[in-house]
Chain A
């Protein structure tokens, strides 16, 4: 991946921040209630049956290095299953949202809230649900893990595809309608290619983020049920139980190999290939490169195979399409009355859902619990804020230094992307072993684990920003001999600000998620615990205390949504307005 590609990709709007509206509105609340109700329904269903989750007869995970390649493979396969599910979800749901106003009214706010719900929260309920669907079978646990990874990937991909569908250039839309393309033909000829660069970049980012969750979701304990799916995550869990430092080291190495292979064999070739879908009318000088992609293109055999496959696909999908039935001018989009009725229906359903949620949570929890969860939320918030500030203070100057030197950027940028993909939780046991041996305060020293994996987003976005900084502006500031503080304040910080916001926002979202695994850590029989919302959720999950899990996840989602709306979204819009260099 070259710098230019990284730059333009890093600039894609994250989390639907480009949207209007800063304050959480009634609609967010409605959607929020629905999601909470869905969790409650699952938890309730499990409790009603009163039976313990089925015991699984799985081959136990062993620390035999001969099994490690197989485990790595299983972990990778889980990842790909999830990404396929996410793609399918994206195509269906985003298309629905873009084409139907009624669907759009529900789907888009839902995605916005869903991406603020901590992913590991989904896991608790996914395990409960899928173990019911496939009792006593390993398939249930597999599905739960894949579902959890899916929830870490699907939302931003769907957002990206939806945004592309809504911004199809008017002239291409006219060509498509003018030549009366059928919906099927239009989808493959216009909509998917146009959305491809954004969707592929988001998919690749999702996969990078997904490694963290695939590791976290393999060894799970929910109440009395402990599942250890064969994979690197379970290997790691066993190594922690037995305090085997060497085995942890092997897991780190194996994960490194997997991520490197993913980076070289999947990420880069796909980004290089997707360059042809970039919507630009002039050929770029500097295109994303990938040696694998070049080999594929230059090798005759591979080319023949790929050519045959692609023309066969085209034959099956596009060769004999029936012409579209003559489309009539559609009536003016949805009457106001119909919309009002639809919204009324949604609101009524939300009221019922709220009644259910309150009823469920009230049976076992009081106001004290809510206050406690809120307090823990504040503690975790403090950690996130302090850590992002520290990470920024370290990585912004370094990122600027690197970004302004193309030779350094060429080398460091791929490394930063690699580190962002590397699941930091694989490294946790090492950190925990150190904390235990030095007898440090877990409340302070467990915290850095939260940003261990997410700080790289700040670094590589800042590098991208500094690389994109126009040369003439740099030269002008050199000629006028701006002194250092002035240069930082007036020149480079405004220049990289939009990029920094994107990176810091991603990093902070990731840190909230990581808190669930970072605030509680085990090393053999020693358990370290920091006071915080992540630890609260983690403990409730282990105890199978569903009401507290719902409460903890709810509180965390509220924190994330409120911070996104009150801090990141205004910052993002401000930076777009003021500091966009175009």
Chain B
């Protein structure tokens, strides 16, 4: 780095950061790849991406909770090798100590710094007042609602006077109304300059939330996590979700997140190729539900994903896997933030239960490589039996244990619906026979 620790050093600077999740023996799994990021004074930046894109890992690396595999992280010019005093973090799960009161929870960071009792108490009460928790000082977290708990999490972070506030999906465990109130309150405090912080870096998978709150949005691709795009949001605060410019920006980000990576084959939306593709667990009912929704009036076979997400209060993490599984099965095409049914998809929508199962079976074996592979192995074997562990081992060569389990579970659930092959839970064996 050519810039040494001077006053001009950016708050957070990340250069060529990569992170690899190592598995014992089997293949390594890249979580983050060549990430570059600079966080300057007086801005709110979002790391936007789908679950599993490594954005939370990145936040933990910045917080000094884990070392990156390679690359450099610096806070105010100083390389990060341990939790830095300039940052404080707010957790998705709130991470409050259930055996401590609100006041004691807020004091925890000051206590660790060895700050004197009286000053500790005074600062904690000031933070509690700021965040709108007066009167709750002696309550235990389990007596509070989710929104109030996250306020405690915020107070606990602010009380140590950090320069950078890191937030890991701070509103995603809250219901819609509570989340909106809390976002508004936080933005008010930020705009009025009442919080002792210089910048906020937040991780989210909620596109509207990112557009509503942030000055800059870094869109991440999944597996491995890479920065796909950097989007500046110039809309003045307070922002209105219904404004055309706001909507246009949201649609644009949807389009970017559903864009097919160039040069990749058709099924390339899921990480990996062939049987080593990591599949999401999506129930056949959800697949059928989305097909019916897109086929019905007024969509008539083509729908806008942001509109569906808005109407049904679905997050991208709920909606995208369903849409992309339909694409994998060739029932739909996803592009530019839209979903369009193929001929097969339209036929599926019109069909009755038995016909649907027949179609699903045919497309599953043809277009989902792992399903086809298992079917072939069962056909070839004399007894038409094969243990699941055989396929699990094959999968674990190219993905993590959890991903292998999730992929196998996804295929099992689809195959059961389609009655292509059976799986016996007790013995862990695939077979061709259907239980009588």
A: which residues have CB within 8 A of B?
169, 171-172, 174-175, 177-182, 185, 189-190, 193, 196, 276-283, 318-324, 326-329
Contacts and interface: CB of A to CB of B under 8 A. Distances in A.
A328 B79 CA distance: 12
Interface string B110-154: 011110110000000000000000000000111100000100000
B160 A280 contact: no
Contacts of B257: none
A564 to B, nearest CB: 24
A174 B95 contact: yes
A178 B65 contact: yes
Contact of A180 (B67, B81, B93, B112): B112
A281 B99 contact: no
A322 B114 contact: yes
Contacts of B97: 172, 175, 189-190, 193
Q: Which 3 A-B pairs have the closest CB atoms?
A: A171-B95, A179-B109, A193-B99
A179 B95 CA distance: 12
B98 interface: yes
A178 B89 contact: yes
Contact of B111 (A279, A282, A321, A327): A321
Given A175-B91, A326-B82, A181 B99 contact: no
Interface in B80-103: 81-83, 85, 88-89, 91-93, 95, 97-100
B65 A171 contact: no
27 contacts: A171-B91, A171-B95, A172-B97, A174-B60, A174-B63, A175-B91, A178-B63, A178-B88, A179-B109, A179-B113, A180-B112, A181-B108, A185-B111, A189-B97, A189-B111, A193-B97, A193-B99, A196-B99, A276-B98, A278-B98, A280-B98, A281-B98, A281-B142, A282-B142, A283-B143, A320-B114, A321-B111
B304 to A, nearest CB: 36
A171 B173 CA distance: 14
Interface string B44-82: 000000000000000010011111000000000000011
Nearest to A192: B99
A308 to B, nearest CB: 16
Given A177-B65, A280-B98, A281-B98, A329 B82 contact: yes
Nearest to B67: A329
Contact of A321 (B81, B82, B98, B114): B114
A82 to B, nearest CB: 27
A317 to B, nearest CB: 11
Nearest to A578: B426
A328 B142 CA distance: 34
Contact of B142 (A182, A196, A280, A320): A280
A174 B99 contact: no
Name the residue among A172, A174, A182 with the largest chain B CB count within 10 angstroms: A174
A278 B140 CA distance: 12
A283 B82 contact: no
Interface of B: 60, 63-67, 81-83, 85, 88-89, 91-93, 95, 97-100, 108-109, 111-114, 116-117, 140-143, 149, 160
Given A281-B142, A324-B112, A319 B60 contact: no
B112 A323 contact: yes
Given A178-B89, A320-B114, A328 B82 contact: yes
Given A169-B95, A179-B108, A179-B113, 11 more contacts: A177-B65, A178-B83, A181-B108, A181-B112, A193-B99, A276-B99, A320-B114, A321-B112, A324-B112, A326-B82, A329-B81
B113 A323 contact: yes
Contacts of A278: 98
A175 B99 contact: no
Secondary structure dominating the interface of B:
loop
B112 A182 contact: yes
A485 B91 CA distance: 51
A280 B143 CA distance: 11
A281 B153 CA distance: 14
B96 to A, nearest CB: 8
B114 A172 contact: no
Contacts of B100: 189
B348 to A, nearest CB: 35
Given A189-B108, A319-B117, A323-B112, A172 B83 contact: no
Contact of B114 (A171, A281, A282, A323): A323
Contacts of B160: 179
A45 B174 CA distance: 67
Contact of B141 (A174, A185, A196, A281): A281
Name the residue among B108, B141, B149, B160 with the largest chain A CB count within 10 angstroms: B108
Contacts of B109: 179
Nearest to B108: A179
Nearest to A197: B99
Nearest to A279: B98
Name the residue among B93, B98, B109, B112 with the largest chain A CB count within 10 angstroms: B112
Contacts of A175: 89, 91, 95, 97, 108
Nearest to B93: A171
Contacts of A323: 112-114
Contacts of A177: 65, 83
A318 to B, nearest CB: 7
Nearest to B166: A178
Contacts of A277: 98-99
Contacts of B83: 177-180, 327
B88 to A, nearest CB: 8
A258 B170 CA distance: 53
A334 to B, nearest CB: 14
Nearest to B88: A178
Name the residue among B66, B140, B142 with the largest chain A CB count within 10 angstroms: B142
A322 B114 CA distance: 5
Nearest to B114: A323
B115 to A, nearest CB: 9
B24 to A, nearest CB: 11
Nearest to B89: A178
Contacts of A196: 99
Contacts of A321: 111-112, 114
Nearest to A276: B99
Contacts of B85: 180
A190 B112 CA distance: 12
A556 to B, nearest CB: 35
A576 to B, nearest CB: 14
A193 B101 CA distance: 13
Contacts of B143: 283
Contacts of B82: 180, 326-329
Contacts of A279: 98
A169 B93 CA distance: 11
A318 B113 CA distance: 11
A321 to B, nearest CB: 6
Nearest to B149: A281
Contacts of B149: 281
B171 to A, nearest CB: 16
B91 A174 contact: yes
Contacts of B116: 320
Contacts of A193: 97, 99
Contacts of B95: 169, 171-172, 174-175
A399 to B, nearest CB: 28
Contacts of B114: 320-323
A130 to B, nearest CB: 39
B155 to A, nearest CB: 13
Contact of A185 (B91, B92, B112): B112
A74 to B, nearest CB: 36
A321 B160 CA distance: 16
Contacts of B142: 280-283
Contacts of B88: 178
A171 B97 CA distance: 10
Contacts of A181: 108, 111-112
Contacts of A185: 111-112
A453 B340 CA distance: 71
Contacts of A171: 91-93, 95
